[in-house]
Structure 1
């Protein structure tokens, strides 16, 4: 089938070592890159000054800022920051979501060597999540904090933890805070050029808060080198990025490395235009995404699997939107869990029908600590779920078990130097050869041909044993169950550690269930709905007939009535479940799951 975009072919060297481990690296050379994010801004402000860089919705249209405009504002805000005494030791906390002023502030801070610390806006807007916000404030001790709207974020701004911190807001709303417009006035007594010259590849540009499915939050030191090198790695693998300026309409949050480093910097590095989508793939907000795409479509599309599923449905229902969406599209890129194959196939078929060719549909793998892309499927993939091979300049260490399932470790210039103010966790994060220990597992698509790439196979820390001693690979099993139970579920937790059967605790897709006519009745924290239970039983039974072995047989299920709680730590800022928190907080429901006579439990 004809493909829209070109790509770098996979070419890797796999070194097998005496201890059984393997080192995998690309044979392609890494393209040289700039040293600082501000270098990109200067490049495009000079060569394409009037091209739109950042845009956000304003009334019926967009507020658009060109590269020349952004550079001027970045230099002014940078001078204002230095005039206030900010430096590498005084981070700026950003508590609100994506926006043009947020982007300008972040680039200004990076321009003069001040770290930016973006956090999930839910930490400030959800009363019960203020404890998480206090944790971050206590860790990074910011000298300045930014919000877009002082009234909207008023409760968080009143926290005692922010006492003495200068508050800046784009919309002060009469509160005693600094207007963002005041920063735009700059300071004539500050030499921005001198400050910019002092920024090096090792300067920390941002501190990203991260926590996995089982760990506590940590601050990842993200240097200019990490961000700049990672964009060279991405453009090496996807050379069409350098051939014409990309355009992106994107909602993914900037407090997360995917939206804030991968996507934002991809536009900046390649002279692209980023239109900020103020919608999200959730009920009540996805309609805004559809409206935004009606005004502007891109050459790239990034999303999570849930978002792509909702988008596919919207495109099927709107001929005009479908045509505009695909007519200039080079790339469909998903992150997070594996994209359901029916959604993948739906996009391929739709692209063929609209323009007779398919954009590159792909994914990559990495973590906040790896900037993020460490492996990427650069070639067209035969199906969903493949994360490819190491990007140029990165060495991946693979430690296989007897089944050739490999623990993955990473070394390269795009890997973090460590965690903020935490030497113990930093030391524990690297092995004696300097490889970052990711905790993830991979398997080769073809053990005889590493160029076919690898498939993500879960986190080692999430695996558990049944009473029989059988290992259960929970992450991969979860992906399968999400696909089997779609669209009834929004997420789930696989259970069974030290028990004799595997079960699932299901967080339902309430909007979809209501639309389908399921009547949900709560029974002490779980939903008891005979019709829904019958459908789950049917799907589990059908799956049971297709598999063999106790390591993958799911024979119990319970549908949880309360969604995962961010204030209680059950959900991370990235939207991932913290499995340990869920199991600990819902211990009584876990016990009910393994009770045969509970009316809320589905059993095979």
Structure 2
């Protein structure tokens, strides 16, 4: 039996053949039909093939969410090349590292980010350098300077014989570079099989449908924004409403106006929507497949959406390396299991292993490292056998670095990252556990908990809060509230209130940046508070 072609480009061309007039993308108010999308992809593929892009070559994209980004991904698939989305919030040196490490043959850049790429061009291997001039929502320049070629020069001709190459499970689809909080970003290799099996998992348990309207506002350079629902919607026959960035008021309007039924966002986005004027009155009854992931989800957000709109936020867990989902909590359990990341996806194995010994944990409520195995799991890191060897054990389990436990019903709860754990007076404190409790304090919007050095206890707990106007809880109030649910050694010994928590390009809380900022404040911890931590 011949291997099945699972190319995204083949799927788009199939859409164009049978339902070409249906809207595939609504991008910043402009509708792009399936037929128009397929035609553009074929023209761009023809132009890039003439410029030497071949199967296995890497093609990088630097810019915001855009139709051009999705077209670049599909062109890569059309030719059997490898798509490399670049986080536009990185520094020039980080961009240089990704382009050099990936060995990108082609670089596609939006005008608004050309200044980020140009300082490193002399050091990167990209021989074909294209500047997006086909997108009215992007900044533009009348005549791109050398060495840039306008993307529009690739349009206008298409080789009718240049059909998408057949792609199978082991063919490399993308290099998704991690945020690099512990060193240089690593290129996570995702195969077409990884992407395909994530879609099979999602379609098996999430109420997705071929004619869905999906709103894409999370960054597409991040695996959640790209492959949670967006790419699958596009390939199955639905419509992707695509925005360049996330704006809470506009997002709320899009959800209502387009009757969006499938939507992925990180918890901070859902929190921002809930505090947007008009949220309480908005008609969100169309929402059906609403997935939240990327960070621990405060139960209060889940309860608020359910109480106000009957919208059941469906928590999932995973990483770039799992493309992205390994577990999922169905809507029927959203309230009963609030805070749970759910059960393993149908075609993915999940287990808990004891850190250090690697012994499998079978008992409920016992914490261990969450490990994953399955066809949606990366084969490893690009040009980095050492990192690959550290991430996988001899049994093929990928070690996530997340600590969690499983309840008696088999549902998983993510406690925290191993590296974020605070050790105070010899006791382990998991910040996410403290954050979930303090998030329920009246008037508190977001909570970030980090460890700060202490001469006697090694580390103590600092809570950084964002609050509604007029709310300024004292340390004593926070400790009294938290003490109802947490051991005293887990309670904050300091509280800081700020306007906004720092986030990285994918919308996740940037704890290294927060820790660096706190360190710069040089605020001494009162001895009385430090003593209270040991009580």
Q: TM-score, normalised by structure 2?
A: 0.85
Could you tell me which residue of structure 2 aligns to residue 11 of structure 1? Answer: none
Kindly indicate whether residue 106 of structure 2 is the aligned counterpart of residue 147 of structure 1: no
The DSSP-based 3-state class of the residue aligned with 2:413 is: strand
Q: List runs of 5+ in structure 2 lacking aligned partners.
A: 134-139, 355-360
How much does 1:455 deviate?
1.4
Distance (Å, rounded) in 1 between the aligned partners of 2:62 and 2:486: 49
How much does 1:107 deviate?
0.8
Does structure 2 retain, via aligned residues, the 8 Å contact 1:46–1:68? yes
Q: 1:454-473 residue pairs with structure 2 within 5 A? A: 454-467=412-425, 469-473=426-430
Distance (Å, rounded) in 1 between the aligned partners of 2:252 and 2:432: 32
How much does 1:179 deviate?
2.0
- Which of the pair has the greater relative contact order for Cα pairs under 8 Å at 6+ separation? 1
Q: 1:398 aligns with which of 346, 352, 366?
A: 352
Could you tell me which residue of structure 1 aligns to residue 325 of structure 2? Answer: 373
Could you tell me which residue of structure 2 aligns to residue 438 of structure 1? Answer: 400
Does structure 2 retain, via aligned residues, the 8 Å contact 1:465–1:498? no
How much does 1:479 deviate?
3.5
How much does 1:420 deviate?
0.9
Give the alignment's Cα RMSD to 1 decimal. Answer: 3.2
Q: 1:235 aligns with which of 175, 199, 203?
A: 203
Distance 1:33 1:53, change over 3 A: farther
How much does 1:165 deviate?
4.2
Distance (Å, rounded) in 1 between the aligned partners of 2:100 and 2:346: 38
Distance (Å, rounded) in 2 between the aligned partners of 1:406 and 1:112: 43
Distance 1:428 1:318, change over 3 A: closer
How much does 1:185 deviate?
2.8
How much does 1:120 deviate?
1.8
Does structure 2 retain, via aligned residues, the 8 Å contact 1:211–1:217? yes
Distance 1:33 1:252, change over 3 A: farther
Residues 552-603 of structure 1: CA distance to partner in whole angstroms, max 9, x if unpaired?
2222224569964xxxxxx5432334545654675454x63434499xxx99
Q: 1:344 aligns with which of 299, 302, 309?
A: 302
How much does 1:414 deviate?
0.7
Distance 1:585 1:540, change over 3 A: closer
The DSSP-based 3-state class of the residue aligned with 1:167 is: strand
Distance (Å, rounded) in 2 between the aligned partners of 1:563 and 1:588: 15
Distance (Å, rounded) in 1 between the aligned partners of 2:385 and 2:45: 30
Could you tell me which residue of structure 1 aligns to residue 232 of structure 2? Answer: 266
Distance (Å, rounded) in 2 between the aligned partners of 1:486 and 1:337: 21
Could you tell me which residue of structure 2 aligns to residue 104 of structure 1? Answer: 71
Does structure 1 retain, via aligned residues, the 8 Å contact 2:56–2:172? no
Could you tell me which residue of structure 1 aligns to residue 35 of structure 2? Answer: 68
Q: 1:83 aligns with which of 38, 41, 50?
A: 50
Does 362-371 or 202-211 show the bigger shift? 202-211
| Number of equivalent positions | 508
Distance 1:398 1:50, change over 3 A: same
Could you tell me which residue of structure 1 aligns to residue 433 of structure 2? Answer: 476
The DSSP-based 3-state class of the residue aligned with 1:122 is: coil
The DSSP-based 3-state class of the residue aligned with 2:81 is: coil
How much does 1:383 deviate?
4.5
Q: 1:192 aligns with which of 162, 178, 181?
A: 162
How much does 1:318 deviate?
6.6
Q: List runs of 5+ in structure 1 lacking aligned partners.
A: 1-31, 124-128, 352-357, 519-531, 565-570
Could you tell me which residue of structure 2 aligns to residue 549 of structure 1? Answer: 487
Residues 295-348 of structure 1: CA distance to partner in whole angstroms, max 9, x if unpaired?
4230123222222223234475574xx22x31x221222113333333322322
Distance 1:287 1:330, change over 3 A: closer
Does structure 2 retain, via aligned residues, the 8 Å contact 1:214–1:461? no
Q: Name segments (4+ residues, structure 1) moved above 6 Å.
A: 560-563
Residues 403-454 of structure 1: CA distance to partner in whole angstroms, max 9, x if unpaired?
6113211111111111111111111110011111111122223x2x32xx22
Q: 1:210 aligns with which of 178, 193, 196?
A: 178
Kindly indicate whether residue 24 of structure 2 is the aligned counterpart of residue 53 of structure 1: yes
Could you tell me which residue of structure 1 aligns to residue 116 of structure 2? Answer: 156
